Every structure is written in structure tokens, then in C-alpha cells.
Structure 1
Amino acid sequence: MTSAPLSPAQLLAVHQLLDGVAERQRHDFGHIVSDVKPDGSLITACDRWSDETLVQGFAQICSGESTLSEEGEKHCPATSAFWVVDPLDGTTNFAAGIPYWAISVARFVDGRPMEAFLDIPSLRQRIVAIRGRGAWRNGKRLTAETRLAAGSACVSLCSRAIRVLQRRHQEPFPGKIRLLGVASLNLVSVAMGQTVAALEATPKIWDLAAAWLVLSELGCPVLWLREDPTALVPGRDLSDVGFPVLAASSEEQLTRLRPWGESLLLP
């Protein structure tokens, strides 16, 4: 077992694995039946198949590296390198026939994401980030300059973050609100220049892992509002652990939105 970056052959194998899962999800979209998990969230047979396929695939690509996933093992691995997977982020959209969801994958090395892959099957887009080397969309490099040039005035919220509008009802919200219904894509929208900030109230580690590295590689400041995912403890059950987070396109935007983010923590 190694904790080195993925080799070119391993990267190719990851892309081929994701190609197969994305194709199956496109095929199943619009033809699925959902169940309700014990926590009240939805799950489909496609979620389960995608999870099993990815977990088995990563075990072959990187022998000895465990996988932490939304639909599978939820205890933080003790190995220095492991995978974090949300096989179908945005199941509610997927089950409702809304064509916007993602496959979120990150490989952690020494407590932080080393490689990240965010695939948006319906758009046939794949965002890739490698620690210290940058980020790309469909092979085209993303830069902070193009992100800042987009000129967006939008702020992305998750459904649970809407309560900040009630807690600070005396003030106008500083942005045009968007709700995408996909935690990973809410966060990565900042890195893409689609929004100037994103606020997630209860994301799990598999929701944010891939987007976190993309944000980091493009210089987007991130504020962990409660727990810091860099302090993951091996063996800890992460089933019910949320990492409230505010991501922004600049330190100025982070400062402007910070009071709204911190209001999430009020009783």
C-alpha cells in the first residue's frame, strides 16, 4: 500500500470507472423507484449499485486503501490513504426527475484530499483537482482569474441553510439566492465562478470532500463553522457528523457572508 499520488495509469483507471458509473446513472435517470433511509433521506437502487461499483473499483485500483462512503462504510479508515465517496449526490433531484446530480469522489492522503473527481452525468462534465497541481473541467484548466471574471452575484444555500433568512430577517440577504439541491455542486459553484459564496448547514464528509480540494486549488477561502475535517479521527463513525461550512470566492466575500454563516450555529 502506498500513500503517494495516483500514477497516470491509476488516474486513467479512475476515469474509466467513473465513465461506467456515470453512463449507468444516465441510463437509470427517469426510470427509478426510491426508498426512504432511516434518517429520512432517499436512496435508489442506482445509489446502491453505484456505491458497490465504486468501492470495488477503488479496491482494485489502489489495493489496501479503504473507502468511506455514504451508502457503505462510515467509520473513518485508519490507513494514511483512503477514498471518500458519495456515489450519487443529489438523490432527491435524481428521484424527482430533476437532471442535476453528481458523483463525488476524493482520495485522502495524510488527512487531506490528494485527488478529487466531481462528475455531473447529465451535463457530461467532470471536474478534477490534484493537490498542488490545480483543477480542470473536461480537461481544460480552471483558474482563479476566470472565476473572478465571471461577475456572479449569486449565493448558493442548501435547504437547511434557509433558516439564516429568518434569523437575520432584519437585514437584506447580500446576494441572489440559488438552491441547487446538490451539496458538492453548491460548494464547487464558488470555484467555478457561478456563485460568490455557498453555505452548507449539515454536509457530511462525503458531500464536501471533492469540492473542498477544488476550492483549495483555486484559492477560494473556506470557513469551517463548527468541526474541521482536517481533524478526522481514525475509527470515528461519521454517519451523523456534519461539517457546516461557508465557502467564498474571496476573503472580502467571506467576511461579508460570515455573519450569515455563523447565524446557523445559533440555537
Structure 2
Amino acid sequence: MTSLSPYRLDPRLEALIDRVAERQRADFGHSQPDLKADGSFITACDRWSDATLVAGLAELFPGEGVLSEEGRQQVPATPAYWVVDPLDGTTNFAAGIPYWAISMARFEAGVPVLAILEVPPLRQRIVAIRGQGAWRNGKPIPPPAEQLHNAGCASLCSRSIRVLQKLPHRPFPGKIRLLGVASLNLVSVAMGQTMAALEATPKIWDLAAAWLVLEELGCPLRWLGPTPQGLQAGTDQSQTDFPVLVANRQETLERFMPWAEALETKAQPFR
């Protein structure tokens, strides 16, 4: 159940996020991407955002490690640590599509306990605190099961859309949306924007913050491969995918399971 109490973040942490979001808005439309070894894009703004967030977290929370997409990708050995995607949706950002996010989550005992999803182009901040609820711009988010405005949309990532070819004679049970931002694809379910989301190859930094938002709002998750819970200290997460199906309620999850099972993630990994 969503808490009615306002959340409180360290003002210095909020100032750090504000600084990075403002720089991203200023750079939007002016960044040329480079190609990384895995075929994905990266921009100078990604690198600056990552370095700024990692340095800022180290200063604000000394003794807590940081795992980030563009930096150290090993699970820290500290009792508490942060998982950061400094700019989720680089392809959108570089292409001039105004939809991307800053994803941050603080982990304790192998699970996220604080999640922050900043959406700079929309000036939205989604926050979740374990056991207390989730908020958007300071207002409690109602569980999707209590929301009545869902338009029957379902989110697929660019790799999971291939499941449509595996079940050609079965109508897909939703209007397909490809948002191009893994963290926001997933959290769209918690926000009541979509009824389900299927991600074929998310990394821990793609899903860390959305994971907690979904749990706090009662959205069922089905891990289709390894689970990200309780990651071992020192393990490299650069090549580990955590395919997942999420839904607004259990019956929706079951309705979409045939397409989730069609991923065949072990036999035919999506790249």
C-alpha cells in the first residue's frame, strides 16, 4: 500500500540529481554518439553524468560502493551500495527523442531499498522507499490495480519484439509500445501507463530502480532467467542479463506468459 507520508531525500542528493538532469537537458540535441564494444551508443554526456554521479555518491555516502553502467561494473563488497545508469535511453537522447532517464538505486542485503528515477525531459522524479511506497514529484502513486485509465498498452523492448514471430498465429494481448528506455518501459506498468512489459536483456542498472517501484506498488514480476536478488560481491555484471516480465496484476501476468516463455533466453539469447 502506498504511504501517504511525503518521502524525504538528502537535499544534497537531490541537488546532485538536479545538476545532472540540468546538464542533460542542456546537452540534448547537441550530442554525437560513439559506438561501444557491445554495439550500444554512448555520448560525452553519458560519461560526464556517470563520473559526476559516482563522485557525488562517494562524497555523500562514504563507504558505500557504486556499480555503474559506464564505470565499475562489479558488485561492490560494501554492506550498502548504489547501482547507477546515468542516462538510460542514450539512443533516444542522441536521436533527439525527448525520453530518457537517470536510474539510481541503493541496495542493502541484496535488494534495492531506495529507488530514484529522474526523467529530465519531463521534469519528473519517481522515488520508491522499501516498505513505504512510491511517489512522482512528491505525490503518492496509487497501485496500478486501483487505476482505471489503462489503454490496454503493453511495452516490449527492441529485442523482445521478436517473440511475435514465434507465436504468429496468436494475437498479442495488447497494443504494443516501444519506448526505448528499459527502466521506463518497466516502471510504466507501475505508473498505470501500460498493463505489462517484457524486457529480454536488461542489465542490473537498467532494472534496479524500476524493480523497487514495481514491488512497492504490488506489481507481479516473473524473472525468466537468473534473478538479480542477492548478487555476489565482486561479480562482473557487464554480460549478465535478467529477462523479466512484469504486469499490473497476476491475471495479466499469466495472460502474457506465453510470449515471455517464447523468449527462450537460454537457448537463443537476444543481442
- Compute the TM-score of the two structures, normalised by the length of structure 2: 0.93
| In structure 2, C-alpha distance between the alignment counterparts of 1:102 and 1:256, rounded to whole Å | 29
Unpaired segments ≥5 residues, structure 1: 1-6
Contact 2:144 2:191 (C-alpha < 8 Å) held by counterparts: no
Counterparts in 2 of 1:93-104, with a 5 A limit?
A: 93-104=92-103
Contact 2:144 2:190 (C-alpha < 8 Å) held by counterparts: no
- Give 1:145 deviation, angstroms: 5.7
- Equivalent residue letter for 1:164: V
**SS of match in other structure, 1:57:** helix
Structure 1: which 4+ aligned runs deviate by more than 4 Å? none
The aligned counterpart of 1:135 is 134
Unpaired segments ≥5 residues, structure 2: 1-6
Q: 1:190 aligned to 2:189?
A: yes
The aligned counterpart of 1:4 is none
Counterparts in 2 of 1:9-48, with a 5 A limit?
A: 11-48=10-47
| In structure 1, C-alpha distance between the alignment counterparts of 2:85 and 2:105, rounded to whole Å | 9
**SS of match in other structure, 1:77:** coil
Residues 146 and 222 (structure 1), Cα distance of their counterparts in 2 relative to 1, 3 Å cut: closer
- Give 1:259 deviation, angstroms: 1.3
**SS of match in other structure, 1:230:** coil
- Compute the TM-score of the two structures, normalised by the length of structure 1: 0.95
Counterparts in 2 of 1:180-259, with a 5 A limit?
A: 180-259=179-258
Residues 147 and 189 (structure 1), Cα distance of their counterparts in 2 relative to 1, 3 Å cut: farther
- Equivalent residue letter for 2:66: T
Deviations 1:126-171 (A, max 9, x none): 1000000000000000111675322330000000001100011110
| In structure 2, C-alpha distance between the alignment counterparts of 1:260 and 1:63, rounded to whole Å | 44
Query: Which structure shows the higher helix fraction?
Result: 1
| In structure 2, C-alpha distance between the alignment counterparts of 1:104 and 1:177, rounded to whole Å | 24
- Equivalent residue letter for 2:12: A
- Equivalent residue letter for 1:22: A
The aligned counterpart of 2:113 is 114
| In structure 1, C-alpha distance between the alignment counterparts of 2:177 and 2:62, rounded to whole Å | 41
Percent identity over paired residues: 64
| In structure 2, C-alpha distance between the alignment counterparts of 1:125 and 1:251, rounded to whole Å | 28
Contact 1:156 1:198 (C-alpha < 8 Å) held by counterparts: yes
- Equivalent residue letter for 1:40: G
Q: Aligned pairs, how many?
A: 260
**SS of match in other structure, 1:264:** coil
